[in-house]
Every structure is written in structure tokens, then in C-alpha cells.
Amino acid sequence: MKKAFILLLSMLQLAQLRADTATNDVAKVNPAPTAVTNESPPSQATGTNTAPSTAQNYHLVWSDNFAADKPGLPDPSKWNEEEGYIRNNEAQFYTRSRLENARVENGRLIIEARKERYLIPSNHKKRVKFAPYTSASLITSGKNDWLYGRIEIRAKMPTGIDKGVWPTLWTLGTSRSSIGWPKCGEIDLLEMFIVPHCVRGNFHFSKDGKLASRDGGSLIVADSDTKFHTYVMDWTSSNITLSVDGNVYAHMDTIKAEDHGYNPFQHPHYLLLNLALGGSTGGSIDDSCFPQRMEIESVKVYQTNPASSTKASRFKEDIHGEF
């Protein structure tokens, strides 16, 4: 009964949240967890609930194993950092090159959201002098992007999902700077909001100039905030499958994203790792829960054809937000 009430509450909240996203630059429209397929921590799955295994001809083409990195700021040869109030009317100011919000520590990448009085740099458009919350968003835009393959991220989620904390592991099409969102395409490998331990996956694109979302799914991972799990995106020209520890929670046939001869899921994407607060989807923020952190042990990208890995120098992505 309690679980049914939580799911009903989530769906009612999300109905209002979807209406808010229409005016956002990159607004995440998300279904409620309609298909919670696992009530306990995932184990090795079998049958139709099993993610595709890594093919023997896959090659590691890019990675950041944070255990091998020196303590300090994230590796600038692999990551850019967004700065400012970026999207979705979120409450946090994303900072750049600030250890309090993004750092390698004890062999892990820490992305930390903080409640504080942060002086906004003078080069930003702003309505206030101080930001009440800070966090970080790491992206491979300007460094690297990929077309097809497998992305594996081993991570532990924050605890405050029902307190306005909104972690996401996702991709955007590199064409965003030229054709905009949602036409560029968005794959939400993982996002969590409002409902604790609920891992959500979604696919967003454009149909006739309007936002379209298809085949999103969810899975309860009961120890998502106490143990590390491996979140995986398997991506081919024909389909995309999202899974955690072998358990599939979303799958889409890419043909569904065809729009007047363009398919965003058949063009390169770059990766984003961020910890958002509140905004159009994250829910009400409880200040008593801070600081909050998402911890990542490693990020790995595999491809069957390494030549399809593309350097991102051919485009310029604006990583400064507007406020």
C-alpha cells in the first residue's frame, strides 16, 4: 500500500513537472516508474531481463578509471565542466575547477552538491549576487564523443532523492549547437528524482518540431545509495538498451526517432555527469540533507569499430549557462 501511494504521488507530481519543461533549453521529460521490475538489489539476471553481454570484439576506446587518477580536479584532458545556471530552472549554480564540487578523492570522482552562499563570478548574467546552492556537471563535449558502442559507468548515487536531489548520467547529440534540443536527441542512461532508489532511463527526440519521448522505463535498486552498481548503455544503429548490473530497465528501437530523414540516435553523442537540485523535475529541496554526493569509480566506452570514435574538436559546444 505504501509503495502504491509513493508511485501515485510521483505520477501526480510528474504530471505538473512535465508541463513546466516546455520552456527549458534541455528539459527532461520523464515518466513515472510504471514498471518497477525488481524489488530487491539486482543480481545476475537471466532471460529477457538480461542486458546484452559485452561482445568479444568490443574494444575499449575511452575511459577514466579514477583509481588511477591523482587526487584533485578531474582530468582536464577528458572533461569539460559546465558553469552557471544551465537548464531546467534548477536551483544549483554549476561551478568550474572547484574542488568543493568536483574532485578525485580516494580513487573516485566525487560530484558534490552543497548548500552555501556562493559568490557568482562577475562574467555571468545574474539576477542575484550569491547562489544558494552549488554543484558540478562534467561533460565530454569539446573532448570526445561517440557513435554506437557501450558506455559503462560504475557509480553510487546520493541519498537525498526524495529531498530535491537529481543525479543524472546522460548523453546529448553533438548537433545540439546547430539544430538545438530536442532534435539533437537525448539518452538518459540514468536519472533519479522524487522516488528513492528508482533508476529511470529515457529517450528524447523531436517529431515534427515537438518533443517526443519513447520507451522510458525504471527499476528499483534498493541499495543504490550505499553500494556501487554498473550502469550500462548498449547502443547500435537499430536499438538502445539501458541496464544496471545486467538488469534491463529501458529499451528503444531507434527507428522510432526518425523525423523527416534525420535520426539523432544515428549520430554522435557526448556524455554528461551531473548532480542537479530541484528545478522542473527534481522536486522540493530539503536543506537539511546537504551536502549530497554522487561517487563514480570509472567510466568506460567500448566500440566494435574504434574508428567510429570521434574527436570533438570539429564542433564548439557552449558550456556557459544563462541566468
Q: d(Cα 222, Cα 229) in Å, to the nearest integer?
A: 11
* Separation in Å, CA 198 to CA 186, 223, 278, 285: 20, 10, 17, 18
Secondary structure E strands in 192-315: 198-207, 210-220, 229-235, 239-244, 247-253, 269-277, 292-303, 309-311
d(CA 168, CA 282): 11
d(CA 258, CA 28): 20
Peptide bond just before 182 cis, omega within 30 deg: yes
- The set of catalytic residues is 186, 191
Report cis status (omega within 30 of 0) of the bond before 291. yes
Q: Please report which helix (H) or strand (E) contains residue 8, including its range.
A: helix 2-20
